[in-house]
Amino acid sequence: MNIPIKQYWRLLSTYLKHERHKLVLLSILLLASIGLQLWNPQIIRHFIDSALQPGIQINDLIGSALLFITVALLHQLASVSSGYIGEQVGWTATNELRGDLAKHCLHLDQSFHKERTSGELIQRIDGDVNELSHFFSNFIFVLVANLLLIAGVLVLMFREDWRLGAGMTVFVVLTIFVLQRIRTAFSPFWVKSSEVQAEFYGFVGEHLAGTEDTRANGASEFVMRRFHGLLRKIFPITLKASIGGYSMWVSTIFVFTLGRSLALLYCAYLWTTDSMSLGTIYLVFTYTELLNHPLEQIRTQIQDLQRADASIVRVSGLFATKSKLKEKEIAADMPEGALSVSFSNVAFAYTGEDGDGERVLRDVDFKLQPGRVLGLLGRTGSGKSTLARLLVRFYDVKAGSIELGGTDIRDYTLADLRGRIAMVSQNIQLFQATVRDNLTLYDPTISDERLHDVLEDLGLGAWLASLGEGLDTQLASGGSGLSAGEAQLLAFARAFLSNPGLVILDEATSRLDPATEAHIERAIDKLLEGRTAIIIAHRLATIKRADDILILDAGTPVESGNRSQLAADPSSRLYQLLQTGAVEVLV
């Protein structure tokens, strides 16, 4: 896998641009560390050669020893400081990258999220970015520092003996060449390993969330078979990727041992011919050992780069995924008050990545005047919920147009459009956050007084008072610990707070007990006052407040009109349903 250098540079320049001062300090510390590492062996050589000379003063040796200790301590201080700053830079950069990835995914259209599990996205956003932490923290700087250290050692080797320097140069070039070849050969396996692990984590996350259903329906053995099947799929791919890392390790151990042995043999030869002092032999051996450290670090970094390559490919691929929903640069202004709704020959199909899909809505054409309530009826799968999703523009229509407030919804910004529509369904999503944050969805402009008023109107005042910390009480993810009715009422409270011009209720009271439902019915009347509404109905009681009716069958409108007129017309479908009480037949 050959990733262009500009792709590395683009990633580094984007997420390290705010860390310039720390990077300058990191560079200074790394250069200081290199200089100190090269200096200390020179001190030891001087110490050894001086100690072997007759008449040496002990104070000179003590001075050399103290200088050695001082330089060693300064080197350790520089190393620890550079490590700390590097980790700080890495975590800052990766956290920013995580935030950008999460924000990007949240702005992608619903078809993207429908095709991917939450576990897969977590692995992409967190797991892949984790692999880049070292890449951001000090990869470039440590790589350059190690190369400078190697260059410094080679220069000093040439100063001692040109043949020794030439041999060490060949040793270094050969080592780096072998490591680079191994990295190139095994990087594709890390990409594949990341993909299958994302699939695995997606499977685990999905089935952990559905543990109760899995156990209740006796599907545990099936899930475990799938679990072990995915593990069997991961193992051979990860094994091949890991072999690349082990190959690097074995190669460096072999080359290090060979280089160390050749250096010692050559030094022994020079010593026997009185061409080299004992202190210089120690110097050469120490520099040979010193070469091992940067080469070992380069090996580790190249191994990390294998994983980083895979993560960069996947992160870049995620950033390259664009939303199918396009927003205009100059958007229309959303009108105030109740909003009219108009569908003109709308057709829609859920399409996969191959672009194919069966149409679920065909020739949908109706108009709903501001302030009126539409009752939407139809069998399961007839397209009722799809129609609601199109209104909030989770998807774009394949044909026709949808107007809200007299303007095509594609002419509004998504934020303005969704800010004027409140959608309450049976599936309530509550977050691991306070009651306040779950109600306001992190909007700080909504006051606590407003929250208390809305909760009192919905009959949740006593429930809120029973909570030890009131609005600051933490709710569990998914609303664990709340009854279905309480969760539904919190969803209604969200709708009240948004002050929408259009309200969409997907049989939003079907989870409530009769007593709570009677209370919420009064709250719904208040919510719908002065607002346009679409109620997806499954029961006769629900459509009683509707002004107009639209019945769908297999995605096609089969009846529409004024509810009172249709209810009085013996030939209408609605009349027959009311006579038999069989709205549930449509469900």
Q: How many residues in total does the chain contain? A: 587
Q: What is the 3-state secondary structure (H, E, C) of 186-235?
A: HHHHHHHHHHHHHHHHHHHHHHHHCHHHHHHCCCHHHHHHHHHHHHHHHH
354 burial via Cβ count (<10 Å: 0-12, 13-18, 19+): exposed
Residues β-bridged to residue 376: 536, 550
The Cα–Cα gap between 514 and 98 comes to 45
Lowest mean pLDDT among 37-51, 103-117, 202-216: 202-216
How confident is the model at residue 582, as a pLDDT? Answer: 54
How confident is the model at residue 587, as a pLDDT? Answer: 42
Angle, CA 482 vertex, CA 477 and CA 486 arms, to 5°: 115
The Cα–Cα gap between 558 and 507 comes to 21
Lowest mean pLDDT among 56-65, 76-85, 246-255: 246-255
Q: In a 3-state reduction of DSSP, which class is residue 313?
A: helix
How confident is the model at residue 333, as a pLDDT? Answer: 86
Report the half-sphere exposure of 69 (CA within 13 A, side-chain side): 6
Average pLDDT over residues 554-573: 87
Calculate what percentage of the chain has a pLDDT beyond 70: 89
CB within 8 A of 313, min separation 6: which ones?
1, 3, 191
The Cα–Cα gap between 185 and 314 comes to 18
Average pLDDT over residues 410-430: 84
Average pLDDT over residues 66-80: 89
Residue with tokens 């040439």: 158
* 408 or 160, which is more confident: 408
Residue with tokens 């890449």: 135
Average pLDDT over residues 228-247: 78
Rg (CA), the chain: 35
Residue with tokens 């020893």: 65
Calculate what percentage of the chain has a pLDDT beyond 90: 4
Whether 316 has a pLDDT exceeding 60, the answer reads: yes
CB-based contact 424:492 (threshold 8 Å): yes
* 367 or 148, which is more confident: 367
What secondary structure letter does DSSP report for 339? Answer: -
Whether 586 has a pLDDT exceeding 50, the answer reads: no
Per-residue model confidence as pLDDT tens digits over 124-147 = 888 788 777 767 766 767 777 888
The pLDDT-based confidence of 235 (bands split at 50, 70, 90) is: confident
The pLDDT-based confidence of 342 (bands split at 50, 70, 90) is: very high
Per-residue model confidence as pLDDT tens digits over 12-47 = 778 888 888 888 888 888 888 888 888 888 887 778
Which element (helix H / strand E) includes 527?
A: helix 514-528
CB-based contact 545:528 (threshold 8 Å): yes
The Cα–Cα gap between 384 and 110 comes to 17
What secondary structure letter does DSSP report for 479? Answer: G
Average pLDDT over residues 493-521: 75
Average pLDDT over residues 273-298: 76
**Residue 450 CB coordination number (10 Å):** 14
Show the domains of the chain with their CATH numbers: 10-320 (1.20.1560.10), 341-426+502-586 (3.40.50.300)
333 burial via Cβ count (<10 Å: 0-12, 13-18, 19+): exposed
* 140 or 373, which is more confident: 373
* 53 or 585, which is more confident: 53
